[in-house]
Amino acid sequence: MRALDDLPTPELPAGYRVRAVRGEEDVAARVAAHRAAWWPSRVTEESYRAVMGTWPYRPELDRVVEGPDGRFAATCLIWFDERNGVGELEPVGVDPGLRRRGLGRAVCLAALGALREAGGRSAVVYPLHGHPDHPAPAPLYRGLGFREHARTITFTAPEARG
């Protein structure tokens, strides 16, 4: 978790900019970016419209990094619990061909800044930790100033393993 009082300013490579999702006009590009980052993904334009219609979704907390070609290279959606002043980052994704250029960091910082503007005081995220196939998330969030406050350990019965 991380308090929001000392957020660094997002920095992007030339030609990239970060902005909020504008609604229906962005659905196709938003879904394409999610599917690229999370391939293979079950998310469709229809299912994403359902996400956008789900409380407490807010387009200003759904941030994208737009590339020079107009495609979305990185995305970060925050779910804001107004009562507790806490936002949860879920999910964060970057196009596999554009990783390790600071886009993930930038899109998270922009979304965290928007969360603070909306009245948020802190943020949480639940990354995989120590998983050999997913080395990036924990260092990303640590580098963003998040600190560990809880850990979930999942026990899976052998017959339930996929």
- 148 is written with which tokens? 């560990």
d(CA 73, CA 154): 32
Of positions 102, 111, 112, 113, contacts ligand COA by CB under 6 A: 102
Stretch of 14-22, 78-86, 113-121, 132-140 contacting ligand COA, by CB under 6 A: 132-140
Q: What residues numbered 2-61 form the site for ligand COA, per CB under 6 A?
A: 37
Angstrom distances, CA of residue 82 to CA of 4, 58, 90, 124:
14, 12, 16, 13
The answer to whether the CB of 15 falls within 8 A of the CB of 68 is yes
Task: Report the nearest approach of ligand COA to the CB of residue 159 (Å).
Answer: 27
- φ, ψ for residue 77 (rounded to 5)? -110, 130
Q: Which residue in 84, 90, 106 sits closest to 34, CA to CA? A: 90
Nearer Cβ to ligand COA, position 51 or 136?
Answer: 136
Nearer Cβ to ligand COA, position 59 or 137?
Answer: 137
Task: Report the nearest approach of ligand COA to the CB of residue 100 (Å).
Answer: 4
Q: Does 143 bind ligand COA (CB under 6 A)?
A: yes
The footprint of ligand COA (CB under 6 A) covers 37, 91-94, 99-105, 125, 127, 134-137, 139-140, 143
